[in-house]
Amino acid sequence: MSEYSAFSDDYYLNMNLSTELDLPHNRDTILHFFEQLQKRYPRMSHFYSRERSEYVLEEDKDSGNYRWASIEPKRINSGQVNPSSFQEAADQHRMVLDLLPYTLAVSPLDCESLSVMFGFDYTFRGNQNELLSEALGVMPAFEKMAEAAGGEILGYEPAIQFALDQDCKTQCRVSFETRTSAFQVRSGDYPEEQLSVYLTVRRYESLGQNESYVSEFDRLAGLCRDLVDSFLIDNILRPLQQSISRR
């Protein structure tokens, strides 16, 4: 078990780099990038393409702990689900970023944004919007409105975004994704669905002369982990667990 597995049913650490220019899309370049990644992680053996020129390499998902990486026309993504440690996932993302200048010709100037995201999933059968409102509370004005309406809550996905520096180049966003539909509320038939909590730290604009993708990832990942440890666990993750346990 990892240091974060106790706070949700599944958790993951993702890295996303969005570029200003289109990435190379020829066959040899794409395959060379994924082959270098596979040399480090031999279990990443499932390669396939999606629509819109998106290519994916991933491990077997059945184990519940797996790595994946993908290339889109203007974005590189890397993730690990239920890693045994934060460091294990971070090492994967560092390797992906370290490969970019040599395999995909991605320059530090080409950075539109670089982000690190912690995601936490909870399997819950019921009205997930109602669960979130119970666990996190509702703004007084909205609470009065909901009481006056007297009906079931059909949508509750609060989000907050704030700057982490004076230039607003580094930002943090906390958001939620519920998967309860109006039909499910009306029928009372709720399948087991994932309720997701996301904490994302993102840096905008090109890298400076003394910056690299790996060093910038380390800075963002450190900020992300500090916010999870100092804020997210006690104020969001544990209250959600407690509300679920009472149902």
Q: Which residue has the higher pLDDT, 216 or 148?
A: 216
Tokens of 86: 């934060």
pLDDT of residue 229: 96
Q: At what angle do helices 238-246 and 128-136 cross, to 10 degrees?
A: 120
pLDDT for res 152: 82
Q: Output the domain CATH number for residue 80.
A: 3.30.160.110
Instruction: Report the pLDDT value the prediction gives residue 212, as an integer from 0 to 100.
Output: 95
* Lowest pLDDT segment from 17-21, 30-34, 51-55, 213-217: 51-55
pLDDT tens digits along 57-76? 999 999 889 999 999 999 99
Calculate helix-pair angle for 86-103, 213-227, nearest 10 degrees.
Answer: 150
Task: Tell me how far apart the alpha carbons of residues 136 and 150 are, in angstroms, rounded to a whole number.
Answer: 19
Structural domain of 164: 5-246
The model's pTM is 0.94
Residue 87 amino acid letter: Q
CA triple 234-236-239, angle to 5 deg: 80
Produce one character per residue of 187-224: b if its CB has 16 or more CB atoms within 10 Å, e if not: eeebeebbbbbbbbbbbeeebeeeeebeebbbebbebb
At 179 the pLDDT is 96
Helix (H, G, I), strand (E, B) or coil at 66: strand
Per-residue pLDDT, averaged over 152-177, amounts to 95
Question: CA distances (Å), 9 to each of 15, 83, 141, 189, 196, in order?
Answer: 21, 13, 33, 22, 10
Phi-psi map region of 148: left, alpha, beta (phi>0 left; psi -120 to 50 alpha)? alpha
Local structure of residue 175 (DSSP, 8 states): E
Count of domains in the chain? Answer: 1
Q: Return the pLDDT at 139.
A: 82
Statement: residue 79 has pLDDT above 90: yes
Task: Report DSSP letters for 37-60, one per residue.
Answer: HHHH-TT--EEEEETTTEEEEE--
Dist CA 159 CA 173 (whole Å): 7
Return the pLDDT at 151.
72
3-state secondary structure of 69: strand
Mean pLDDT of 226-232: 97
Cα 37 to Cα 45: distance, rounded to the nearest angstrom: 10
Give the per-residue pLDDT at 2. 64
pLDDT at 148: 72
Residues 85-107: what's their mean pLDDT? 96
Q: Please write the tens of the pLDDT for every residue from 26-68.
A: 999 999 999 999 999 999 999 999 877 899 999 999 988 999 9
